Amino acid sequence: MSVLFDVADHVARVTIDRPDRMNAIDTATHRRLGEIWDEVESNPDIRCAVLTGAGDRAFSAGADLKDDTGMSGVDYWKGLSRNGYRGISLRHMSTPVIARVNGLALGGGLEMVLGCDIVIAADTARFALPEAKVGRVPLDGGMLLLPRLIPRNIAVGMMMTGRMVPASEMARYGLVNAVVPFADLDDEVNTWVTDILSAAPLSLRAIKAVARQTASLSVHEAYETGAPELALALRSDDADEGVLAFREKRAPVWRGR
């Protein structure tokens, strides 16, 4: 299996398991990731997902350029686009996703990071979009999302040169939530997972939906936009449970409804 998938205690853990290929994404891995994300979205018991790569060298080196598909670069990317880049794109996800960046996040690997909601990186991690060096372009989020998430000139400079940026620098630009020694990476990720699970699931989905759907709108337009997830959260049983638990000085019991 090129991807490990485990669900326990409301958390899905997804690990790209191709350490000998720097966890690069070939067609089989891309297909499997798409199946996993569909399963995560269809399972209401999953409240959080953690995405990472196997080993300590790479989160993912992006597309596997040694993948013998028999297709040209254009045909390869057209094939991915017909499926909405379903495996490496997390734009469609309503479930909160944490990126556990254990090493290099290059090309499509960085684009997967851009689709996550929270990014925790080892201090040895580095980020790059080197597509231009092999005659391609960062089609799935790199050109569109990176200039919106970090300063525009920094993003364009990364894409035009392919240079690698250390995790500490990406944290200063605001892309990374926390940078820790590799030995502390799992503890830091688990702390964030615990905090997410302590919050109401429908509230989290509403926050994610509104933040993403209004990102390119003016403040006035954003206030006029009503995401269905927002109404669902405000009218939910969990909304009542949260207030009741606060008054009774106990931990809330979330039911996701």
User: Quick check: 257 and 238 in contact, CB under 8 A?
Assistant: yes
| Given 35, 39, 41, 111, the catalytic residue | 111
Kindly report the number of other CB atoms within 10 A of residue 35's CB atom.
13
The residue annotated as part of the active site, out of 131, 169, 221, 224, is 131
Burial class (CB in 10 A: 0-12, 13-18, 19+), 182: middle
Query: What is the CA 113 to chain-centroid distance, rounded?
Result: 5
Let me know: does 120 contact 185? Beta carbons within 8 Å. yes
Q: How many Å apart are CA 6 and CA 238, to the nearest integer? A: 26
Q: Could you confirm whether 41 is annotated as catalytic?
A: no
Q: Closest by alpha carbon to 137, among 109, 159, 110, 167?
A: 159
Could you list the active site residues? 111, 131
